[in-house]
Structure 1
Amino acid sequence: MLRCGQMIFAQALVCRHLGRDWRWTQRKRQPDSYFSVLNAFIDRKDSYYSIHQIAQMGVGEGKSIG
């Protein structure tokens, strides 16, 4: 469920910052805002919306990890 929530939120941020019609293409350089969204979700403890951060937020609300 955490990954699903991550994907939905990431898509919402991409739509918000890049527009609904934006599509990733291999041939073009991607905008900096794309990389900003991407970096927010990397699985590192210091990324805003990483699995680590989301799980820790749940612990703070009394939900156990796993």
Structure 2
Amino acid sequence: MQYRKINALGIPNPLRDIARSSAALVATAVKHDLLIESGLLKAVLLQEVLVWEMQHAGEDG
């Protein structure tokens, strides 16, 4: 990893880079979790619709 410089003397700040990397990882993990939860919700809703349709299949004639 290449460190960014924080002043004219060229002092590296690895902690800032680590914090930015950590924040990016957290954001990616949250997005991934939301996508998974969204997919699970869709699966549950689809299952509910299919169950309802099976229960009411003979009612339409």
**TM-score normalised per structure 1:** 0.28
Q: Larger C-alpha radius of gyration, 1 or 2?
A: 2
Q: Which has the higher contact order (CA 8 A, sep 6+)?
A: 1
